[in-house]
């Protein structure tokens, strides 16, 4: 099983999601969004995972890269290739399928529980969140989970979009707080507190990520 992972060069660690995929026999092929080379064709992969990003889908200066990735995701879903979008990945997936992305009424940065309609497939959490944007569901999508800020999970065809970060291992969180300390503290968090909670929740977070990955691969999240 070959999985295409779309990521930024500075943040291409698939964390617990990558670990769960590899435990199920997947070979991960990571491609960086900034690379000007054409993206691989989706037909060469069994599934696609789009990771998070510091970008916003609507930023003018990354529109070439955004539209290139959106075209790949749109074509993959049209050909029934499973796609999993995480945070920015879920946002660009919504954009690709006719939804939109907008500024959230407030950021979610830290550990947050969600309200899941399918807790056996997507547990209530809590999960790492780090975003100031939110997706508006694409036409025909089924909302699977939400928070007070907006939708947290949806499915449409072969695609699943998540606003939270099931992949975020403590090692990933440590890198994020190093680069985003100003944003974290502006939201009332601390680097030490975020890292400590991530360490404490390592086992449960790994288990939730594995549960979501299994549901994604099984197709039980499909609309």
Which of the residues 65, 87, 108, 197 is marked catalytic?
Answer: 87
Phi, psi of 184 (to 5 degrees): -65, -50
Q: Tell me which DSSP letter residue 42 carries.
A: G
> 167, 127 in Cβ contact below 8 A?
no
Q: Which of 74, 153, 81 is nearest to 118 (CA)?
A: 153
**How many CB atoms within 10 Å of residue 63?**
12
Distance CA(82)–CA(123), nearest Å, equals 20
Cis upstream peptide for 68 (omega within 30°): no
Q: Which of 123, 129, 115, 117 is nearest to 214 (CA)?
A: 123
Q: Is-catalytic flag, 167?
A: yes
Distance from chain centroid for Cα 165:
6
Q: Which of 46, 40, 38, 44 is nearest to 3 (CA)?
A: 46
Which of the residues 65, 69, 108, 167 is marked catalytic?
Answer: 167
Q: Is-catalytic flag, 87?
A: yes
Q: Is-catalytic flag, 165?
A: yes
> 165, 127 in Cβ contact below 8 A?
yes
Distance from chain centroid for Cα 102:
16
**How many CB atoms within 10 Å of residue 43?**
9
The residues annotated as belonging to the active site are 87, 165, 167
């Amino acid at each position: 099983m070959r999985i295409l992972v779309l990521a930024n060069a500075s943040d291409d660690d698939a964390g617990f999601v990558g670990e769960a995929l590899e435990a199920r026999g997947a070979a991960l092929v990571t491609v960086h969004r900034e690379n000007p080379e054409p993206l691989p064709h989706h037909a060469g992969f069994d599934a696609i995972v789009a990771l998070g990003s510091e970008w916003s889908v609507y930023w003018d200066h990354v529109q070439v890269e955004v539209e290139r990735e959106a075209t790949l995701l749109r074509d993959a879903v049209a050909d029934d290739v499973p796609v999993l979008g995480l945070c920015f990945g879920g946002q660009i997936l919504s954009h690709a399928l006719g939804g939109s992305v907008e500024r959230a009424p407030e950021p979610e940065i830290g550990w947050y529980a969600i309200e899941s309609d399918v807790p056996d497939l997507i547990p209530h959490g809590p999960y790492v969140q780090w975003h100031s944007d939110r997706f508006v569901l694409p036409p025909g999508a089924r909302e699977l989970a939400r928070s007070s800020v907006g939708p947290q999970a949806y499915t449409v065809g072969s695609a699943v979009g998540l606003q939270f970060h099931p992949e975020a291992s403590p090692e990933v969180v440590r890198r994020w707080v190093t680069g985003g300390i100003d944003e974290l503290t502006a939201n009332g968090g601390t680097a030490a507190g975020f890292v400590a909670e991530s360490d404490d929740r390592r086992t449960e977070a790994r288990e939730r990520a594995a549960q979501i990955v299994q549901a994604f691969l099984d197709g039980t999240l499909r609309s």
